[in-house]
Amino acid sequence: MAIDKSLVTGSTTMLILRLLDGQDMYGYQMIEELARRSDRTFELKSGTLYPLLHLMEEKGLITSYMQAEDAPRPRKYYKITDHGRAALSEKVREWRLFSRAVDAVMGGGTNENA
């Protein structure tokens, strides 16, 4: 079953920050890791990811640097900042509050039509 994109949109920043909290990553690596960890529920397109990364960098949540590897050209890696870690902690608190409230409503009573 496909997930409504509007549900994912509000969580994308939190998910990216969580990935970067574990290690520095380049864009395609983030796309693949997010898809892998979510059992392909979250499959970002590069056209969605890169504008978000630029916005997160402008807000000081992440920084970027170039690193040469075995690839034909250097890759741009992204790294979470201290400000990004603080924002991630806040987003996780918000998410837990939100998900508990949704769970309470969805499972909190009997529905004769269910």
| CATH number of the domain within which 64 lies | 1.10.10.10
Residue 97 belongs to some domain of the structure? yes
Q: What is the pLDDT of residues 43-95, one digit of tens each?
A: 889 999 999 999 999 999 999 999 987 767 899 999 999 999 999 999 999 99
Give residues with Cβ within 8 angstroms of 30, minimum separation 6.
Answer: 16, 19, 20, 44, 49, 78
| Region of 103 on the Ramachandran plot (φ > 0 left; ψ -120 to 50 alpha; else beta) | alpha
Contact residues for 13 (Cβ-Cβ < 8 A; gap 6+): 52, 56, 61, 87, 91
15-19, 36-40, 104-108: least confident range: 104-108
Q: What type of residue is 19?
A: L
Cα distance between residue 85 and residue 87, in whole Å:
5
**113 pLDDT band (50/70/90 cuts)?**
very low
Per the structure, how many domains does the chain have?
1
> How far apart are the C-alpha atoms of 76 and 53, rounded to whole Å?
11
113 belongs to a structural domain: no
Residue 85 lies in a domain: yes
Kindly provide the residue ranges of all beta strands, DSSP E only, lying in 1-114, ordered along the sequence: 25-26, 62-67, 75-80
Q: Rounded to two decimals, what is the model's pTM?
A: 0.82
Is residue 3, in this structure, part of any structural domain at all?
A: no
